[in-house]
Structure 1
């Protein structure tokens, strides 16, 4: 894979170098201000000890940002472009942007982190993009960005995916937790955990994703880019589950960046 992130250029970037990008990043819209905002957020969070705390700081700063879908560029017939935005988000690009900024301890690392999170092996190609959230989970566990959060009651289910045109049907296995088991095990959740909501629609794996936030009073909140609300916001997680008839979820916990040195 000519566009893949190798161990050598990934570690060079983590050490303060600049990785070679297969396609120049497309800072859509306010390109220079966007770079500056991301750099500012990384700087604000740099002194925070844990990656979960940095996720909280950065995601909170983006509350109120408008929702916009279909901002990524590429298709089976159109060359993929590496799009970076800080001004508008859908649920997945919000999680990706926050996570990449939280893992980057300096601005020069942000683009490499985002590539690794968005694309299998960091390869800028439409077919390497994590179109299904089940692919997003599997690839970001494989590259040591996240680990599965297995709470009591977790189980594995299989589903046939046919939703994405151009990818063809596939069978996937997903580790899920029922809504009731999630609430029963709420004390085991932490701010910064990534949550995906299982879809009941044939051919689709998940319908939404966001970050778990545990307030000082112990309330469970969902911080996400909501199409229905048109912006990034916090909502009570139990209410979101009920309103959207969500029956099961998948949970990931982000690893500390030091563990990412094993990416090849």
Structure 2
């Protein structure tokens, strides 16, 4: 672990364990809240088709995907060793730390076995749309991740204009919300965590926007108006 990450991990585990007996949504909110204000930091993971993968734990700075990784792994752990094991399970297929095994796409969480989350998008709205994606292959040509194959997958999303009160009422705190990608080679462009707060529904996310550049809570409806639609994965535990 880099820098102060080991010290930070102990504080995160303490917060998680304080909520261990609570419902899943309460546990998710308690853990994800600890990251509010943490700096946005991209490209912290190490590994490519040419360079060996390393298991990175960087808690001083997160991007939207590593933030989701850490929250999900923490929810499943009560000590440091279990956290490492859970992070490997969440981030990689078949428990193998490797670039080709990394779950590079949001919907890998629901497509891999065992599933980390269930795709509930189509259940939330009759207006959901299913699209066959060719993940990793850019519409403009070439691959997003050289050295990895193209993956054909049907991805359902709810158009932004159709994310209404009924949809939001069916969401649960702790659901993972992906910003649907128009490009056929991506499923989503951003990921956050749904939280039903006393002040209204928000998406808790590691924002790269210059005005934020950290983990923040953004009003969900304001955010949804800026994206094509949402993909919703519900954690299995």
- Find the aligned partners of 2:177 and 2:67 in 1 and give their Cα distance: 13
Summarize deviations over 1:106-149 as a string: whole Å, max 9, x none.
4432111111110012210100001122323422xx31432222
- Find the aligned partners of 1:164 and 1:77 in 2 and give their Cα distance: 11
- Find the aligned partners of 2:6 and 2:184 in 1 and give their Cα distance: 42
Which residue in 2 is equivalent to 1:241?
224
Instruction: Give the drift of 1:189.
Output: 1.0
Structure 1's unaligned 5+ residue stretches are: 1-26, 257-264
1:17-166 correspondence runs (5 A): 27-47=1-21, 49-139=22-112, 142-149=113-120, 150-153=123-126, 154-161=128-135, 162=137, 163-166=144-147
Task: Please tell me whether the aligned partners of residues 26 and 173 of structure 2 are also in contact (alpha carbons under 8 angstroms).
Answer: yes
- TM-score normalised by L of structure 2: 0.87
Task: Please tell me whether the aligned partners of residues 59 and 98 of structure 1 are also in contact (alpha carbons under 8 angstroms).
Answer: yes
Task: Please tell me whether the aligned partners of residues 178 and 191 of structure 2 are also in contact (alpha carbons under 8 angstroms).
Answer: yes
- Find the aligned partners of 1:74 and 1:192 in 2 and give their Cα distance: 29
List 4+ stretches of structure 1 deviating above 6 A: none
1:170-185 correspondence runs (5 A): 170-183=151-164, 184-185=166-167
Task: Please tell me whether the aligned partners of residues 52 and 254 of structure 1 are also in contact (alpha carbons under 8 angstroms).
Answer: no
Structure 2's unaligned 5+ residue stretches are: 138-143
1:230 aligns with 2:213: yes
Instruction: Give the drift of 1:46.
Output: 2.2
- TM-score normalised by L of structure 1: 0.79
Query: Structure 1 pair 181/52, CA: closer, same or farther in 2 (3 Å)?
Result: same
Task: Please tell me whether the aligned partners of residues 110 and 116 of structure 2 are also in contact (alpha carbons under 8 angstroms).
Answer: no
- Find the aligned partners of 1:200 and 1:155 in 2 and give their Cα distance: 12
Task: Please tell me whether the aligned partners of residues 133 and 185 of structure 2 are also in contact (alpha carbons under 8 angstroms).
Answer: yes
Instruction: Give the drift of 1:226.
Output: 0.5
- Find the aligned partners of 2:191 and 2:15 in 1 and give their Cα distance: 22
Higher helix share: 1
Instruction: Give the drift of 1:200.
Output: 1.6
Instruction: Give the drift of 1:44.
Output: 2.8
SS across alignment from 2:132: strand
Instruction: Give the drift of 1:202.
Output: 4.7
